[in-house]
Every structure is written in structure tokens, then in C-alpha cells.
Structure 1
Amino acid sequence: MVEKLIRLASSILKYWDISVSQIELIQGGQMALVWKIMTDRGPLCLKRIHRPEKKALFSIYAQDYLAKKGSRVPGIIPNKRGHLYTRQGPFLFVVYNWIVGRPFDLTVSEDLDWIMRGLAQYHIDSEGYIPPEGIPVFSKLGQWPNHYIKRCQQMESWKKIAAELPDDPFSQLYLSEIDHHIAFGRQTLNKLLDSGYTEWVTESLENPHLCHQDYGTGNTLLSDQETWIIDLDTTTFDLPIRDLRKMIIPLMGDQGEWNDDLFNRMIESYEKVTKLTEAQKKIMFTDMLFPYELYETANEKFGRKNDLPADELEKALTYEERKGKEIVKRMN
């Protein structure tokens, strides 16, 4: 399989004006493939993007915009025709500069500071991006209410699956506790609609920012005291605080308990680069109230059909209760 994928890379690289001396498969066995290429231009990265084409094109041109603007993302090497990608079958292939660096360790305060500042800089740098004519716009602006509704409906539907597993401790616990959290999720939707979210979305439609949607240690590197973002496949137009919630809340959950110092440090590090207004923080805190971690735990069990012990659900339930109390205190 490895040899086959090396041959695939070699055939694709003929579309670029580069001299290749070595090809190494870095990521294989999935829809997304990544190779490290040693060339006359130095090390480069060849990637087969696994996103649908319209979303892939939006992110490819976004990355090119950011790189040319001086943002810390790998530059894209055009092919012989001057295009940013080469299409083969249903897939798009792109060649990037290879970034040498190390992964972040979020248990180290300095690394946490770097990665949060890098996220803030990404949001600032993304301002002004307009996809070229003909490139579909990928945006989640204004879609949060629908996301809340869909997740609440899914948690409701999973009650039927749980009821069919009367001897399963996870399902028993789910049935005994989930109604309260579904109701809380719906209350959060009402809070969001009263929070100024709609007004911020309306303002952002005139001058949107990119939201990475999958920012974290797997898509970043620390290189020469700079935070580099090496994967932008999921980037969309959205409110930047979406990335903050996706960084902060799961990390807090991984701690096994609420850590006020960690919470404050992450927001303070982000605000070293760009400040959030009190109105924006209110919207962010409201979004953080939604029981995302509980939803993800239940989805692992009932959506993805993976066997989970009841104590995993217990942890998620306990975390949601503590998180809700702490966030509400910040909103008052």
C-alpha cells in the first residue's frame, strides 16, 4: 500500500515544476493523504484533500490569501499552469511549503499562551478574505440556532435507542438524566437569541472573519517562536468565538474537573492579541453553556455505535453541571 501511494504522489507531482529527490508517506490509510517531498526547493508537502470540492476550494484560496498576507500558514506552490491545485478524479491535490516545528504541549503554560495567541492572530489576519469569483462561499454565520436545535433533537431521538437497551448501564443513566439537559439546551437557544448573536452575525456578513473550526494541537506547530497553522481544510466564515469555545471547553473537560485558572489563562492569552468586547463575551459564554461534551459522549455511544462504560457518561454529566454553574457566574 505504501509503495502504491508513493507512486501516486510521483505521478501527481509531474504537474508541478519541481525536481523531486525523495517522497515519504506521512499520513495514509485515510481519505486525506500527506507526503513529505524533498525537492530542489527544499522540503515540501503534497496533500490529497478529503473535503468536498466546494469546501476544499474555499479553504485553498483562504490559505493562499493568508500566506500572501504574511500569516503563519504554509504557502501554496502553484502547479505548472499557475493553479493552486491539481484535480485528479474526485480529489484535489495541493503542494505546500513544509513547516519544521514541534507540537504544542498544552500542559505547559508557555505553549498554551502561544497557541491561543496564534488563534487570535489567525482571526485578525483572515479579515478581508473574499473567495475568487466562482468559488463557493463556505459560511456558518447565523447557523448556531439550527445546530442547537439539531443536537437537541438527536439527544431526544437517542432516548429510543437507550430504551431498547434496558440492561445497559450507560443507557439506563442516559434515560434518567438526559431530559434535564435537553431542556437546558433549548433554554440556551433562547439565551443565544437574546444575547446579541443575531446582531453580530449581521455585522459580520459585511466583513466576515474566518473561523478555523478544528484548531488545536493536531493542526499547529511552534516554529521559531511563532504559531503556525498547518491545516486549514475546515475553515469557514463564522464568529471567531466559535474557535475559542471549541478550544476551551473540550480542554476543560479533559481536565476531569473545572479549572478556573486554566479558563482565565486561555482567554487572557487570546486577548493579548485582540480584545473581546463584553457583548462578544456574553455571546461566547452563552454558546459555552450548551451541553456539547454531553452530546459528544452520547453521540459516541448512540451515533457512532461505540461501546462506552456508564462512568464516561457520568463524567460528562458532572462536567456539564459544573461548567454551567461556572459560566453562569461569569455572565452575571
Structure 2
Amino acid sequence: MAKSYDDLKAVFAYYPIHPKSVKLLDTRGGRSKWLIESQEGPMILRQEYINPKRMLFIAGAHWHLQNNGLPIARLIPTAQGSLCLSGGDHVYLLYEALEGEPLLYYNKQHMIKAMKFTGAFHHASEGYLPPSGSKRRTRIGKWKKLYRWKIQELEDNKKIAQKDPEDEWSRLFIEQVDRMLKRGYEALEELDQSGFAHWTEASIRSGVFCQQDDTMARMMIKNGQAVMKDLHSITIDLPARDLRIILNKLMKKLDVWDTDTAVDLLRAYDSIHPLSKEQYRVLWTDLKFPHLFCAIAHKYYLGQKKSWGDEKFLMNFRKIVSVENSKTEFLSQLDPIYQKIKEGSADG
């Protein structure tokens, strides 16, 4: 990995910039970032170990969003007009370094700004034509396969837990798993509804895409609005995916599903990127599926969180059970909640 200005000279030679200093900001997960002070202003250089064709797909999306007016850090092409620079088994991206305030999960106005940004993101993504030679990533049309895989994993984990009923994790897991499996099977059956197929077909035609992991961590507040510091990944999928992910994250921070807050957040999103009742029905299906419950069980049984002890796993498991179970009332109120969403825009 390059560590200094001298190491990165060959990279800078491809860009129309005049660097003055280089500072390594972060290295983890196959990704490194440097802060570049240049005559043209502060910039971020990102090095990532990824298939260059895949990165071209992401960089093309970044360029598309930028050109469609989304508040996102400006991507800087090479002097030859390339959106990213291949180093063989790794790729470089250069974009402006933004300054602003962090978005806070426990601040409702910040949460509303994040939801409005998500709406703007989906609106700006429409019409994306990936660059020639790029490799698309898509999950659209694969929801049934994903649901079935997660349900089967829960069924397998249930058998493991039943073999050790005296274990605290197993005991709590067994208490909840049948309820979660019921919701999973119901959600799987609901994917046969016409709205899911219609939205899938419309999304494929429109070119809309989602983030892989919609999170406030990649946003900041600048000039009173949420802006994106960088774009790590995208996938072709229904906007409902991003909405489900960010709503579940926000409610997990609150330790409970707060229906009033969820309505305000969806109203904020809808004020920028309106959805039909049929489309909200698809979102309700994805929120019904116990994604959070499946995720923590997956982490536990595969030992993916090496730094978590039993107490931390149990603490997070109880929090997720609280969120999933308290979501039931919300899920039963699609009609009145849809009316509330359409009543007006949330402030933020």
C-alpha cells in the first residue's frame, strides 16, 4: 500500500491536480483513504481492492448523481476523462473533501434530513446508464431467493439452539424464532402480490439504483442539508431496500419501533420522492420480514463478531427483539399511515 506523497506520485500524474501534501486518514477492509491538500483545494484519494469493472459501475453512478444535482462530493476524473484509475487488483478514486457537521442518529431533525437525502438519491439515480465495460451489481428480482435463504438459515439455527436449551442465548432465541419465522413466511408469500412485480419492472426501466448500505455515517450537514461524503457501493434494486435498511437502523438506535417517528421520516422521504400505496405495500412486506433478527443470528452462529462476548450479543439480541416485536402495530396500519404520509411534508 502506498504510504506517502512519493509513493502516490505515479497516481497523481494521471490527475489534473497539483498536490502539496498527503495524509493517510484510514486503512481497513481493503480500503485506504488519504487527504490531499492541493492548489485546487482539499481532496480525498481512495484506494480500494475491488474488480475495476465493478468500481467503474459505482463511479459511473457517482458521476450520474453528481450531474443530476444530488448534493454529493464532486468526483474528479483523470486528465483523460476516466472516472477511476485501475491499478490491476485495486482502483483509485479522487473526489473533493467536504467539511460539515456530522449527522446524529438520536437527533430527529438530522434523521429527517437523512430521509430527504435518501429520497433525493433515488430521484437522482433514475435514468442511470452504466459505463461501457462496467460490471453491474443487481438484487432486483432476487428477493424471493434471499428470503428463502434467510428463512432456511433460521430453521437450521433453530435446530442448533434446541440442542442446548439451557444456554441463555439458545433459550431467548427459541422464545422468538417461531414468531420471526411466521413473519418471514408471510412476507415471502406477499412477494407474489402484483405491486412487487410492477415496481420491479418499472425500476428496471427507469434505471433507479440503491445504496448497498444506506447509513447516516456517510453523510454530513453542509449549508443546512444532508450531503454525501462519498459513495462506497450501489446495487440495482427497489428503493424499498434502502428505506427498510435505514428505518431499521434508526429504530434500532431508539431501542423500539416508534410509529410516530417512522411516519414523520417516511413523510420526509415522500416529500422528495413520492411512492404509491402499492409501493408502500412492498416496503411493508420488506419491513415485516425479520431482517434484523436474521442478521444477528447469522453473526452469532457464524462467529462473525470476534470482539463481541456473550453479554454484548445478548444485549444486541434483546434490542433487536424489542424493535422487531414493537414493529407489529406499525405493520398493521398501512392504510392510516399512508394517509398520514401524504398529508404534508416534514420539516427539516
Q: Same fold judged by TM-score > 0.5?
A: yes
In the alignment, the residues of structure 1 paired with residue 203 and residue 186 of structure 2 have an alpha-carbon distance, to the nearest angstrom, of 25
1:98-125 superposed Cα distances (whole Å, 9 cap, x missing partner):
2121211232232222211111111111
Deviates more, 1:5-14 or 1:51-60: 5-14
* 1:97 corresponds to: 96
Deviates more, 1:14-23 or 1:279-288: 14-23
Deviates more, 1:236-245 or 1:67-76: 67-76
In the alignment, the residues of structure 2 paired with residue 218 and residue 229 of structure 1 have an alpha-carbon distance, to the nearest angstrom, of 9
* 2:323 corresponds to: 319
Q: Residues 261, 34 of structure 1: CA spacing in aligned structure 2 closer, same or farther, 3 A cutoff?
A: same
Q: Residues 73, 315 of structure 1: CA spacing in aligned structure 2 closer, same or farther, 3 A cutoff?
A: closer
In the alignment, the residues of structure 2 paired with residue 308 and residue 194 of structure 1 have an alpha-carbon distance, to the nearest angstrom, of 40
- SS of residue matched to 2:109: helix
Shift of 1:8: 4.0
- SS of residue matched to 2:226: strand
In the alignment, the residues of structure 2 paired with residue 331 and residue 12 of structure 1 have an alpha-carbon distance, to the nearest angstrom, of 55
* 1:18 corresponds to: 17
- SS of residue matched to 1:57: helix
- SS of residue matched to 1:269: helix
Shift of 1:263: 0.6
In the alignment, the residues of structure 2 paired with residue 115 and residue 105 of structure 1 have an alpha-carbon distance, to the nearest angstrom, of 10
Is 2:164–2:170's contact at 8 Å kept on the other side of the alignment? yes
Is 2:288–2:331's contact at 8 Å kept on the other side of the alignment? yes
In the alignment, the residues of structure 2 paired with residue 221 and residue 81 of structure 1 have an alpha-carbon distance, to the nearest angstrom, of 31
Is 1:6–1:25's contact at 8 Å kept on the other side of the alignment? no
Is 2:255–2:320's contact at 8 Å kept on the other side of the alignment? no
In the alignment, the residues of structure 2 paired with residue 17 and residue 316 of structure 1 have an alpha-carbon distance, to the nearest angstrom, of 48
What is the identity, as a one-letter code, of the residue corresponding to 2:198?
Answer: E
In the alignment, the residues of structure 1 paired with residue 151 and residue 244 of structure 2 have an alpha-carbon distance, to the nearest angstrom, of 18
Is 1:285–1:331's contact at 8 Å kept on the other side of the alignment? no
In the alignment, the residues of structure 2 paired with residue 41 and residue 159 of structure 1 have an alpha-carbon distance, to the nearest angstrom, of 57
Q: Residues 184, 69 of structure 1: CA spacing in aligned structure 2 closer, same or farther, 3 A cutoff?
A: closer
Shift of 1:167: 4.7
- SS of residue matched to 1:250: helix
Query: Structure 2 matches for 1:93-172, cutoff 5 A?
Result: 93-163=92-162, 165=164, 167-172=166-171
Q: Residues 34, 276 of structure 1: CA spacing in aligned structure 2 closer, same or farther, 3 A cutoff?
A: same
Give the paired residue count. 331
In the alignment, the residues of structure 1 paired with residue 304 and residue 93 of structure 2 have an alpha-carbon distance, to the nearest angstrom, of 34
In the alignment, the residues of structure 1 paired with residue 268 and residue 63 of structure 2 have an alpha-carbon distance, to the nearest angstrom, of 27
Corresponding position: 1:329 with 2:328: no
In the alignment, the residues of structure 1 paired with residue 257 and residue 157 of structure 2 have an alpha-carbon distance, to the nearest angstrom, of 27
- SS of residue matched to 1:75: coil
* 2:344 corresponds to: none
1:259-298 superposed Cα distances (whole Å, 9 cap, x missing partner):
1221111111112212211111111111100111111221
Shift of 1:69: 2.7
- Structure 1 residue runs without a partner (length 5+): none
* 1:244 corresponds to: 243
Shift of 1:138: 2.1
Give the RMSD, CA atoms, in angstroms.
2.2
- SS of residue matched to 1:228: strand
Q: Residues 14, 163 of structure 1: CA spacing in aligned structure 2 closer, same or farther, 3 A cutoff?
A: farther
In the alignment, the residues of structure 1 paired with residue 140 and residue 9 of structure 2 have an alpha-carbon distance, to the nearest angstrom, of 40
In the alignment, the residues of structure 1 paired with residue 216 and residue 329 of structure 2 have an alpha-carbon distance, to the nearest angstrom, of 28
> What percentage of aligned pairs have identical amino acids?
25
Shift of 1:181: 1.7
Shift of 1:78: 1.8
What is the identity, as a one-letter code, of the residue corresponding to 1:109?
Answer: K
Is 2:157–2:301's contact at 8 Å kept on the other side of the alignment? yes
Is 2:106–2:253's contact at 8 Å kept on the other side of the alignment? no
1:192-242 superposed Cα distances (whole Å, 9 cap, x missing partner):
222510121012221121211322221111111232112322212211121
- SS of residue matched to 2:57: helix
* 1:69 corresponds to: 68
In the alignment, the residues of structure 1 paired with residue 39 and residue 5 of structure 2 have an alpha-carbon distance, to the nearest angstrom, of 18
Is 1:208–1:238's contact at 8 Å kept on the other side of the alignment? no
In the alignment, the residues of structure 2 paired with residue 83 and residue 296 of structure 1 have an alpha-carbon distance, to the nearest angstrom, of 38
* 1:308 corresponds to: 310
* 1:32 corresponds to: 31
In the alignment, the residues of structure 2 paired with residue 195 and residue 5 of structure 1 have an alpha-carbon distance, to the nearest angstrom, of 56
Is 1:51–1:233's contact at 8 Å kept on the other side of the alignment? no
* 1:278 corresponds to: 277
Query: Structure 2 matches for 1:79-90, cutoff 5 A?
Result: 79-90=78-89
Is 1:250–1:293's contact at 8 Å kept on the other side of the alignment? no
